[in-house]
Homo-oligomer: A and B are copies of this chain.
Amino acid sequence: MKVSKIGIVSRFDRQDALDMVKKIHDEFNSKVDIYLSPGTGERLKISSNLLPVYKMRDAGVQLIISVGGDGTALRNISKMKDPLPVLGINLGNLGFLVDVPPEDAIEDIEDVLKGFTYTERSRLSVSLGNKNLPDATNEIVLITARPAKILTFRISIDGTEIEDIRADGVVFATPTGSTAYAMSAGGPIVDPRVDASIIVPLAPFKLSARPLIIPGSSTINVEMIIPEKEAAVVIDGQHTYSMKENDIVTITKAQNPARFVSSSINGFYEKVQSKLA
């Protein structure tokens, strides 16, 4: 299916990102309707067709071009309840989620506008007490808010309590997030075709604490059992919330997945190799 409406989101704080948006806009403005996120539009002094990313689906936008790093893509996906497919243009550093290098941007977009396919990546939904937080594409981190103060986490998987974890924090990641923060914490690489979630303790007190792989459809409940301490909930490294005594965090598979436009180099194992080698 030919594409007629696209959205563009980007970093605001780097000129090379804004230059790239401008270049894409100039190149394709006559061929398709282009919506810009307001922040990007303002900085480029473009005032027509500005729309927050969470309204783009309803406006008929078919895909989002994200200019920046993995963080830019993650932040914008988290704003969409039912995420549009994203094509990530990086700024010179290959990300796991943004694999089109700047020099290929125009040509790759040209191809995509003729029709595209996308892959779906499951996300995690998280609530803190009664409050729903943004869905996570990579991971949810529960972490001590006071450096070097160990916490005790009481975790249950589908109603079954596992052993309490005493640690600086705990990472709950999707397979997509297995190559991001969860990996620094010592987690395994998980092929995104596996329907699973990954639990990795951060600096656990007990040496036998291990990464744990559970079904993607499992419900995870987390409680802190040391009352006087504070923790933060950090989603995709982008959103931070405070967690207090008696706050229960519940994590389930999100209703809607993230979607990524399939482009030239997005084989999972090729990326693992080029990033980790």
Q: Are A272 and B214 in touch, CB under 8 angstroms? A: no
Q: Are B276 and A237 in touch, CB under 8 angstroms? A: no
Q: Are B215 and A194 in touch, CB under 8 angstroms? A: yes
Q: Which residues of B contact A269 (CB under 8 A)?
A: 157, 160-163
A189 located at the interface, meaning its Cβ lies under 8 Å from any Cβ of chain B in the complex: yes
Partner of A191, one of B203, B207, B213: B213
For the complex, give the distance between the alpha carbons of A163 and B193 in Å: 19
Ordered nearest first, which 7 A-B pairs have the shortest CB separation? A188-B211, A207-B208, A148-B234, A184-B203, A143-B147, A190-B213, A147-B232
Q: Which residues of B contact A204 (CB under 8 A)?
A: 184
Partner of A189, one of B160, B185, B210, B273: B210
For the complex, give the distance between the alpha carbons of A204 and B181 in Å: 9
A179 to chain B: closest residue by CB: B210
A244 CB, min distance to chain B CBs, angstroms: 14
Interface residues of A in 193-230 (CB under 8 A from B): 193-196, 198, 202-208, 210-215, 218
A157 CB, min distance to chain B CBs, angstroms: 7
Q: Which residues of B contact A145 (CB under 8 A)?
A: 147
Interface residues of A in 76-130 (CB under 8 A from B): none
How many copies of this chain does the complex contain?
A: 4
A169 located at the interface, meaning its Cβ lies under 8 Å from any Cβ of chain B in the complex: yes
Partner of A194, one of B169, B205, B214: B214
A48 located at the interface, meaning its Cβ lies under 8 Å from any Cβ of chain B in the complex: no
Cβ contacts A142-174/B at 8 Å (1 or 0 each): 011111111000000100111100011100000
Q: Are B157 and A148 in touch, CB under 8 angstroms? A: no
Q: Are A205 and B184 in touch, CB under 8 angstroms? A: yes
Q: Which residues of B contact A161 (CB under 8 A)?
A: 269
A190 CB, min distance to chain B CBs, angstroms: 4
A257 located at the interface, meaning its Cβ lies under 8 Å from any Cβ of chain B in the complex: no
* Known interface pairs A162-B269, A178-B213, A193-B215; 20 further A-B residue pairs with C-beta atoms within 8 A, sorted by A's residue number: A146-B240, A148-B234, A148-B237, A148-B240, A150-B184, A160-B267, A168-B184, A184-B204, A185-B203, A189-B210, A190-B213, A191-B218, A194-B194, A194-B195, A195-B195, A203-B203, A206-B208, A207-B207, A207-B210, A207-B276
Q: Which residues of B contact A143 (CB under 8 A)?
A: 147-148
A73 located at the interface, meaning its Cβ lies under 8 Å from any Cβ of chain B in the complex: no
